[in-house]
Amino acid sequence: MFKKILIANRGEIACRVAATARRMAIKTVAVYSDVDADAKHVRFCDEAVHIGGNAPKDSYLRWERIIAAAKATGAQAIHPGYGFLSENEEFAQACADAGLVFIGPPASAIKAMGLKAESKRLMETAGVPLVPGYHGSDQSPALLKREADRIGYPVLIKASAGGGGKGMRAVARSEDFDAALASCKREAINSFGDDAVLVEKYAQRPRHIEIQVFGDSHGNYVYLFERDCSVQRRHQKVLEEAPAPGMTEAMRQQMGAAAVAAARAVNYVGAGTVEFIVEQRPDGSMNFFFMEMNTRLQVEHPVTEAITGLDLVEWQLRVAAGQPLPLAQDQLRINGHAIEARICAENPENNFLPATGTLHVYQKPACTSFERGLVRVDDGVRQGDTISPFYDSMVAKLIVHGQTREEALARLDDALAQTRIVGLNTNVQFLRHVVRSPSFAHANLDTALIQREEAGLFKQEPVGLAMAAAAAIAHALLNEKSDEGADPFSHRDGWRSHGVTQRRFEFEFHGELAQAGLTYLHDGALRLEVGEVSGPLQFSKVESGEGGIDIQFAGQRLTAAVYRQGEVDHVFTARGATQISAIDLLAHAGESHAEVGRLTAPMPGKVVSFSVKVGDKISKGQPLAVMEAMKMEHTIAAPADGVVQELLYAPGDQVAEGSELLKITV
């Protein structure tokens, strides 16, 4: 076994690999960019080497620097994690040429399966069913459009070297094809250095089911069952579970055999995933088509670990060291059900726009053991860390296990309720909405679930104005009490020798202004009025827990944790979370709530292009510019009709969040 390995990645996967290595008494070397100098994975490993600037092309994609770091530190092998160089055959070959073990498949297997078009031709030869499409080498836009027209809309354009939803667009009409193709190619070249694409028929209501495979250098192969990854947004996975709901044993064996055959066809070694599109037949049976093979460990591998009780990173290390697979196919068993939720820095209510910022509060649910726990969190961040625009938006992975799917669902909802993040937008509450949705709860799954359930997934308010205001006021009063000294005249408890005392509070809640009145009664009791809701207010600190407050108001009782950031109170309850702002009217005197004629960047990133010029007339909703952030492209649309007055940046310029991009007259 290796004595020391270098982990050519960052974030949660670097920490994940290092944790198994530590358990196996293997020393680890981290690599890091400028912005990651104090990152969790750097501190978690035994050694660390700086490899360059913030952008991946200046650091985590510079394989010659990574190999030099491995040799300089005496590492014997390199684990690529996922993303970055994990599916780069040149890097795998360079490791071998340098006398280093690449903890993954041979370069030949990566080359054969890494390009989607090539792998589909290989599968077609092997008799594996394929989705109708064009996988040819002629990449002229005119030919690609003709092929799309021939296949019939809707079609899916996919980067041939892609993954993670990057370089992928669904196109519903012929007239939209050219713009979608150009965007795919830009995103593909930026993420993978290759702008080749393929075009496929976009299946209606498909499920995305993948098979985990493993091979060793002794010719042994197994499949470690399946994962359902159907719940997606922007072609990126949101929730993954194992086993797939509704999967029959016969279908599992059929798909597993096909996945193993795919691995054998390229003499695969190590961990890999064969992905299938699965459609439901009218008789209820399922039909599957090969989609692609990912020649690496997947983000969602923990759900497979949970149902098998195995450590897949340990298997990777043992196989890379020349050992045979630890178990044969007939020794593998499924135990219970596991679900993984990807917690991302993004705004679900604004088309899942990536978010950046500081994790001022980062409270995780109570976890059990790392490998076989009922609740597990894989992350690469700590409270106080900053989520930058240079890398993927994922903050953490929350994995739960239960004996049944229903038990796992309940455990996941409870763990999400215990997850508290303040400092930037996240999808935590959105994930709770998905988990509670009828479609997900009843396993009515397909890749369009989020769009289909849109009305019930967005803009839910689980707490309500009255209880949010009560929580904010209780938090403020408790803080005032803790600040009071021994001097009785410094107390702010509302006591008067005659009459009663009233206080007024101004709030902003979901864009609407609201008022609350608090009355101090002679017996020390409090009465609160919020809009048309009024009644006694009682509250007290919860001794156990992180700053919890027990609140009773208007016939309701709940325990809330309240965190103040600026003027915003972030309220977390078992029902869900919300934000309410206490407005200081004097502090905001003279401010305007509407800025006309300005269009600002919704996130930090790079300007890719403008689709308008000075003097153009524009209409509301018209695309004006394209920005790139966190390796994804985002279209900026006109907020109203008007005329373009000035473009303030040029393509290629980096801009900060809130920067004015262009001026328009309305």
Residues with catalytic annotation? 296
SS3 225: strand
Q: How many CA atoms lie within 13 A of 335 on its CB side?
A: 14
User: Whole-angstrom Cα distance, residue 142 to residue 610?
Assistant: 23
For the record, the structure tokens of 193 come out as: 């250095």
Strand order in the sheet with 133-134: 133-134, 197-201, 155-159, 168-171
H runs (alpha helix) in 514-589: none
Cβ proximity of 577 and 429 under 8 Å: yes
Q: In whole angstroms, what is the distance from residue 188 CA to residue 61 CA?
A: 15
Separation of alpha carbons 5 and 16, rounded Å: 13
Alpha-carbon distance of 269 to 297, in angstroms, equals 12
Residue 389 to residue 412: CA distance in whole angstroms: 28
Q: Considering only the C-alpha atoms of the chain, give the largest distance between any 2 of them, rounded to a whole number of Å.
A: 92
Q: What is residue 554's DSSP assignment?
A: T
In angstroms, the CA 65 to CA 76 distance is: 16
> Does 243 sit behind a cis peptide bond, omega within 30 degrees of 0 on the bond before it?
yes
Cβ atoms of 629 and 608 closer than 8 Å? no
Structure tokens at 552: 């009773």
Q: What are the C-alpha distances in Å from 317 to residues 24, 93, 102?
A: 10, 18, 10
Q: Is the Cα torsion angle 417, 420, 425, 427 positive or negative in sign?
A: negative
Instruction: Please give the angle made by the CA atoms of 294, 300 and 305, to the nearest 5 degrees.
Output: 110
Dist. CA 397–CA 415, nearest whole Å = 11
Structure tokens at 207: 């499920």
DSSP for 22-70? Answer: HHTT-EEEEEEESTTTT-HHHHHSSEEEEEE-SSGGGTTT-HHHHHHHH
Terminal alpha carbon distance of the chain: 68
Element (H, E) at 211: strand 207-215
Upper half-sphere CA count for residue 56 (Cβ side, 13 Å): 18
What is the distance between the alpha carbons of residues 17 and 90, in angstroms, rounded to a whole number? Answer: 22
Which residue is associated with the tokens 């209409």? 619
Cα–Cα distance between 350 and 458 in angstroms, integer?
10
Sorted by sequence, the CB contacts under 8 Å of residue 340 that are 6+ apart come out as: 239, 240, 241, 300, 302, 303, 397, 398, 399
In angstroms, what is the C-alpha Rg of the chain? 27
